[in-house]
Chains A and B, each alone.
Chain A
Amino acid sequence: QSVLTQPPSVSAAPGQRVTFSCSGSNSNIGSNYVSWYQQVPGTAPKLLIYHNNQRPSGIPDRFSGSKSGTSATLGITGLQTGDEADYYCATWDSGLSVSVFGGGTKLTVL
C-alpha cells in the first residue's frame, strides 16, 4: 500500500483535459514539494513536474501541476494518444525521512 494515494485509472478523449489527483498527509505533501512522473510501459519514468508546478525544459505547457494542503494535482490539456502512460506522484516524507511514491494512475486516451 502506497503512502500517497492515486486513483488507479482515468480516461478521456483526445483533445480533452484530464487531471490526476495525489493525496497524502501533513508529513509528506503537506510540508514538501511534489513531483510527477510519466512512465510509458517498458520504459523508465520521466520527470514531468517538480517543485509542485515547475516543468523541466522540454516538457510542453500542456502539463501543469498544483498543490493544496495535503493534495496535489497533475493536469494535461489537449490530450494526445501518445500521452497514454502511467503517472506517478512523489514527495519526501519528513516523518519517515524517505521519498514516497503514489500507486500510479493509468491514463487511457479513448
Chain B
Amino acid sequence: QITLKESGPTLVKPTQTLTLTCTCSGFSLTTRGVGVAWIRQPPGKALEWLAVINWEADERYSPSLRSRLTITKDTSKKQVVLTMTNMDPVDTATYYCAHLPSFAYYFDYWGQGTLVTVSS
C-alpha cells in the first residue's frame, strides 16, 4: 500500500526558507520509472505543480519558481525534501507530495497535504 505524508512548519516568516519533507512508504524511490512531485494549492485557488524528482534523481522545476526551489531525496529514509527560499505571503498554501507511477506523468497517490502560512 503506497502512502505519502508531508511534514514541516505550519508557519514561516517572510524571507525565510521553507523545508518540507515527504515520507513515503509502500514503494522504493529507486524503482525504475518512479517519481515524487510537490504540488501546492493556495486557499480557494487551483493546484500548482512545483517540482518532481525521479528514480535517477533527475529534477524538474516550475519555471516561475525554479530559482527558489530545490528538490532532493534520501532513499534510505524514503523521504523527498522540498526547500523553497525567500518565502512570501503569496506562498501561503497547502503543499502536497504525490507519487508518479512507472514512466508516467500522472499522480496516483497523494499525501494529505500540509498547510503552510507565511506571515510575520
Give the interface of A toward B (CB within 8 A).
Answer: 2, 32-33, 35, 37, 39, 44-47, 50-51, 56, 88, 90-92, 96-104
Contacts and interface: CB of A to CB of B under 8 A. Distances in A.
B110 A91 contact: no
Interface residues of B, number: 22
Interface of B: 37, 39, 46-49, 52, 60-63, 96, 104-113
Chain B interface SS verdict (over half): loop
Contacts, number: 60
A46 to B, nearest CB: 7
B1 to A, nearest CB: 13
8 contacts: A37-B47, A37-B107, A44-B111, A46-B110, A97-B60, A98-B60, A98-B62, A102-B46
B26 to A, nearest CB: 15
Contacts of B47: 37, 39, 45, 88, 90, 101, 104
